[in-house]
Structure 1
Amino acid sequence: MQATVYKSTGSWYTVKTAAGEMFQARMKGVFKIDENITSTNPVAVGDLVEIAPDDSDANAKNAMITDIGARKNYIVRSSPHGRNKKHIVAANLDQAVLVCTVKDPRTSLGFIDRFLVTAAAYHIPVILVFNKKDIYRDKELEKFEEIAALYGNIGYEVLLIAAATGDGVDDVQELLKDKTTLISGHSGVGKSSLINGLMPGLALRTKAVSGWSGKGLHTTTSAEMYDLPFGGRLIDTPGVREFGIVDIPKTELSHYFLEMQPYIQQCQFNNCLHLNEPGCAVKAAVEAGEIEVDRYVSYATILETIQEELY
């Protein structure tokens, strides 16, 4: 029987069949020791799995996961259990929404770029949703316009909303309709408030930003998928403070900065890292103002963090 993973809590998974039946499922032991599975979680939210219901207690709705279907894509990050391990955040996505804020807390461009690179590596479109419009003054609105122009010119969709008042939530709803969407962001950016606006009956817990640190407080503890009332599915993920990149060699990183793609083939060397090499078309484009300096600096910063020995 085929089912989709809706929630992962470690050793147990909530799965839903095409008929709408929910089961609590465990993995067969073979998946836990399979050397071909290199992530800390061999089964992720969004996975299609084969299950064998436990017939010994029909009321318990327990099952065993006997097989994992092929993934069309997934979002992966470095595992909190070790930077050399990877954690699959979610699988089989149509798109991702990154919820950001200009203040309380401020989302850094470096964090945004790391997320965009990871999504681009797995061909997942990203929508940038800036929240807390209701608390922005002229200075923050001006900063948002700069950021919106930066990413909008590259081709990303950028929205400004106020989840607390409902302003702009309808626009987000329209983009999510009939699609499977991952929603992510720093803790405290208002992700849970946005989800509550999209699904009023859900009532996810929300917390204010920590006053002493300016950082958000965690409210979601594990990834979970919800059926949207207007069509589609939304995968909520725990708030993240860092987004560690894995499985991307240094020579490939520039391919996932979308504005660099037209210039890569024009470089003098095929393995150009776009740092100090002669005949680099990417650096020439930066100097000509065709690639934003902030994005190039972000690229160079990420490049430094990639551990080449992993490949």
Structure 2
Amino acid sequence: MAEEKRGIVWRSTGSWYTVRDEKGDFFACRLKGKFKIKGLKVTNPIAVGDKVLFHLEPGSDENGVIHDILARENYIIRKSVHKTAHGHLLACNIDQAILIVTLTFPRTSLGFIDRFLVSSESFRIPTVLLFNKCDLLDEEVAQIQDEYMNLYSALGYPSLSISALQGINLDAVRSIMEGKTSLISGHSGVGKSALVNTLIPHLDLATSAVSTFANKGVHTTTFAEMHEMNANTFLIDSPGIKELGLVDMSEEEVAHYFPEMRDLIGACRFHNCKHVNEPNCAVKEAVLEGQIAQSRYFSYLSILENVDNRR
């Protein structure tokens, strides 16, 4: 019987996984049979960041077979693009998520930001917002960005204005990432690969200019991969997300993943208030009084509607 090894999934290309063992050596591994995670319907049973047990194939020093996935601390998941009833794991066992957003070339919607935050909140994963391409903003858009940053910072999501290409505020980014495993995510074209290249220059990841047609980004990262910044700092670069469909969430849960609404749960007239049409709703009153941003409330309604339609 081959020696059992323990490692972390470093790279996922679909059918093969690069796994780094506890000594720091890398192996190309495949799955043993079909894995099914109890209570979780996913298109990819293993994701970057997963801790796995594997053994080498007979006669090989480089190829292995994964036969067990160790318990996950957390994960970020989205609805599968190809199988609507399934989810797709973006990363597992992370210390924080870093969402890169841009208000120009391409523009990240507040709805997308809020959906990502709800997904990370569902596992209590701390999230940082990096507003990239600050060097391209005119005075009006820069003011809008400041308003957004103030909104999310007040909700407990650190927000930072940066330029990956110009090197603006990247020392602060390094400080945020130090000693942690971070997932870097966002739309295609927001500058994920450019940021990773600046933080870890020797990688030289492919980057692409944003198409001016429809102002949409071009996919340059085609699979998720972990990179090492230093001995105790790691980042996971993920493919660009066009849309972020939420999975494994009930109507009753959604408000709990909005911090400003979570603080008001129990203050409504009805204990099962959905904060939509019910009278004497503390959440709706907070929106009218400006204590909850309208954009956040509209995001809540949109997510609630999608969850209800899925049912």
Q: How does 1:128-277 map to 2 (within 5 A)?
A: 128-229=129-230, 231-277=232-278
- 1:208·1:216 contact (CA, 8 Å) conserved in 2? yes
Deviation for aligned residue 1:252: 0.9
Q: How does 1:100-139 map to 2 (within 5 A)?
A: 100-139=101-140
- 1:187·1:215 contact (CA, 8 Å) conserved in 2? yes
Deviation for aligned residue 1:267: 1.4
SS of equivalent residue, structure 2 residue 166: coil
**Which runs of no fewer than 5 residues in structure 1 stay unpaired?**
none
**Hey, what does 1:52 align to over in structure 2?**
55
Deviation for aligned residue 1:159: 0.3
- In structure 2, how many angstroms separate the alpha carbons of the residues matched to 1:163 and 1:52? 40
- 2:131·2:160 contact (CA, 8 Å) conserved in 1? yes
Deviation for aligned residue 1:268: 1.9
> Residues 269-294 of structure 1, C-alpha deviation per residue, up to 9 Å, x if partnerless?
22211001122111111122211111
**Hey, what does 1:41 align to over in structure 2?**
44
CA change 1:43–1:148 in 2 (3 A) is same
- 1:177·1:230 contact (CA, 8 Å) conserved in 2? no
SS of equivalent residue, structure 2 residue 149: helix
- In structure 2, how many angstroms separate the alpha carbons of the residues matched to 1:144 and 1:219? 26
- Percentage of matched positions with identical amino acids: 47
Deviation for aligned residue 1:104: 0.7
CA change 1:213–1:309 in 2 (3 A) is closer
- In structure 1, how many angstroms separate the alpha carbons of the residues matched to 2:296 and 2:276? 13
CA change 1:177–1:188 in 2 (3 A) is same
- 2:106·2:216 contact (CA, 8 Å) conserved in 1? yes
- In structure 1, how many angstroms separate the alpha carbons of the residues matched to 2:46 and 2:223? 13
CA change 1:11–1:203 in 2 (3 A) is same
Letter in 2 for 1:278: P
Deviation for aligned residue 1:37: 4.9
Letter in 2 for 1:139: E
**Hey, what does 2:291 align to over in structure 1?**
290
Deviation for aligned residue 1:20: 0.5
Letter in 2 for 1:68: I
- In structure 2, how many angstroms separate the alpha carbons of the residues matched to 1:141 and 1:120? 27
Letter in 1 for 2:45: P
Deviation for aligned residue 1:231: 3.4
- In structure 2, how many angstroms separate the alpha carbons of the residues matched to 1:233 and 1:269? 45
Deviates more, 1:42-51 or 1:82-91: 82-91
**Hey, what does 2:25 align to over in structure 1?**
21
Deviation for aligned residue 1:35: 6.6
- In structure 1, how many angstroms separate the alpha carbons of the residues matched to 2:272 and 2:42? 28
Letter in 2 for 1:232: T
CA change 1:299–1:44 in 2 (3 A) is same
- 1:44·1:90 contact (CA, 8 Å) conserved in 2? yes
**1:12 lines up with 2:16 in the alignment:** yes
- In structure 2, how many angstroms separate the alpha carbons of the residues matched to 1:225 and 1:47? 11
CA change 1:182–1:55 in 2 (3 A) is same
**Hey, what does 1:64 align to over in structure 2?**
65
- In structure 2, how many angstroms separate the alpha carbons of the residues matched to 1:34 and 1:107? 33
CA change 1:52–1:37 in 2 (3 A) is farther
> Residues 205-230 of structure 1, C-alpha deviation per residue, up to 9 Å, x if partnerless?
11010122210000000111111137
Deviation for aligned residue 1:307: 4.0
Deviation for aligned residue 1:309: 5.6
Deviation for aligned residue 1:173: 0.6
Deviates more, 1:227-236 or 1:91-100: 227-236
- 1:178·1:231 contact (CA, 8 Å) conserved in 2? yes
**Hey, what does 1:278 align to over in structure 2?**
279
- In structure 2, how many angstroms separate the alpha carbons of the residues matched to 1:141 and 1:36? 44
CA change 1:66–1:195 in 2 (3 A) is same
> Residues 25-53 of structure 1, C-alpha deviation per residue, up to 9 Å, x if partnerless?
0111042x677552111111100000111
SS of equivalent residue, structure 2 residue 223: coil
> Residues 78-102 of structure 1, C-alpha deviation per residue, up to 9 Å, x if partnerless?
0011222101111001000000001
- 2:56·2:65 contact (CA, 8 Å) conserved in 1? yes
Runs of 4+ in 1 over 6 A off after TM superposition: none
